Structure 1
Amino acid sequence: MDQIMIKHMETVRDITLNTLGKIKEERADIIPQGFTNNIRWNLGHIAFVQEKIVFGISGGTPELPAEYKDLFRAGTSPADWGEHVPSLSEIRAVLQDQTNRIKAFIPEHYHEDLKQPFTNSAGITFNTVGETFLFSFFHEAMHLETIKQIHKAIKREEAAV
């Protein structure tokens, strides 16, 4: 497999981790007006979906903490969270570990067909592990932009007080 794709994944993930590093823990749970989720949810959702589409759908071995599914899958909300949610440093560690596991997994499995085609909520059908892997870049970047917009909105709201 072409190492350019691995490098691209690392670049996207580095941007996510650098952005995460600029977020104060106390801002991670604020849902500004006009948004439905918070920064913590978006970061956890990135990890959850990446795990699902790279490992889960492909027949690999998902290794996320069990609570990630209940906290961060599509359709979940911070309003439904209980007492324990992962800290930003815990999410950072999950994202870093995930990157290393993907780098070890993808080159061997990139060209494999999925056991059955997978159609996501947007109606896009994937047939190979590589297709799901490439889509994960788009998904992560989309949520990264949402994180940046939420962070800007929080700063604006704080400045207005």
Structure 2
Amino acid sequence: METTFTITRTSREIYAKWLEKYSLEQLNKIPQGFSNNLIWNIGHIVVSQQLLVYAGSNQPMMVSEEMLAKYRRGSKPEGDVTQEEVNEIKNLLFTTIEKTEDDYKKGLFTSYNERTSELGFLLSSTEMAIDFNNYHEAIHLGIMMQIKKFI
């Protein structure tokens, strides 16, 4: 799992650089033909990791109900986010992963609610959810690379 957590941390560092590189206006811009923006994708990967790992293991999540509603699968941006919200998301990029790694090492994840992801991946353990999360984050990085061409 050490390699998996290293990949996750590296992914989060890449996302953090996007938050530093693009202005608030650019983060909020939804290009024509897209249903979301850069900041939604970053908020979405934070929320999705919490749902995949913590909710899937019947453990409390680190994200608020408001954040869940705003960034979960099927949602879309309903308005511009503020710089304070960007800062919160940036903080959660790292605190959620640090806590996940710590909780994993402590043996917190003792069961998992087996399910098949929307993409057809069978998730039958916390380890599989953590692995799948890296795949999911890469998909959203690809979407962001497309969005950046139009902002």
TM band (smaller chain): 0.7 to 0.9
TM-score when normalising by structure 2 = 0.88
Measured after TM superposition, the shift of residue 148 of structure 1 is 2.4
* Whole-angstrom CA distance in 1 between matches of 2:121 and 2:108: 18
Give the 3 Å change call, closer, same or farther, for CA 23–37 of structure 1 in structure 2: same
Determine which structure has more spread, i.e. the larger CA radius of gyration: 1
User: Within 5 Å, which residues of 2 pair with 1:1-161?
Assistant: 2-78=1-77, 80-81=78-79, 87-109=85-107, 112-114=110-112, 116-154=113-151
Q: CA RMSD in A?
A: 2.3
Give the 3 Å change call, closer, same or farther, for CA 66–84 of structure 1 in structure 2: farther
Measured after TM superposition, the shift of residue 68 of structure 1 is 1.1
Q: Spell out, residue by residue over 1:58-84, the C-alpha distance to the aligned partner (whole angstroms, 9 max, x if none).
A: 122201022111111111111x35987
TM-score when normalising by structure 1 = 0.83
Asked if the contact 1:44/1:72 (under 8 Å) is kept, the reply is yes
Unaligned runs of 5+ residues in structure 2 are none
Give the 3 Å change call, closer, same or farther, for CA 13–84 of structure 1 in structure 2: closer
Measured after TM superposition, the shift of residue 118 of structure 1 is 1.6
Q: Spell out, residue by residue over 1:47-102, the C-alpha distance to the aligned partner (whole angstroms, 9 max, x if none).
A: 11011111110122201022111111111111x35987962212101112112111
* Whole-angstrom CA distance in 1 between matches of 2:140 and 2:84: 18
* Whole-angstrom CA distance in 1 between matches of 2:84 and 2:145: 20
- Of residues 118-127 and 135-144 in structure 1, the stretch that sits farther from structure 2 once superposed is 118-127
Number of matched pairs: 151
Asked if the contact 2:19/2:27 (under 8 Å) is kept, the reply is no
Unaligned runs of 5+ residues in structure 1 are 155-161
Q: Spell out, residue by residue over 1:95-135, the C-alpha distance to the aligned partner (whole angstroms, 9 max, x if none).
A: 12112111212234498541x31222223221110000000
Sequence identity (%): 26
* Whole-angstrom CA distance in 1 between matches of 2:91 and 2:140: 18
Measured after TM superposition, the shift of residue 142 of structure 1 is 1.1
* Whole-angstrom CA distance in 2 between matches of 1:56 and 1:32: 32
Asked if the contact 2:37/2:147 (under 8 Å) is kept, the reply is yes
* Whole-angstrom CA distance in 1 between matches of 2:148 and 2:109: 38
**Paired amino acid for 1:67:** E
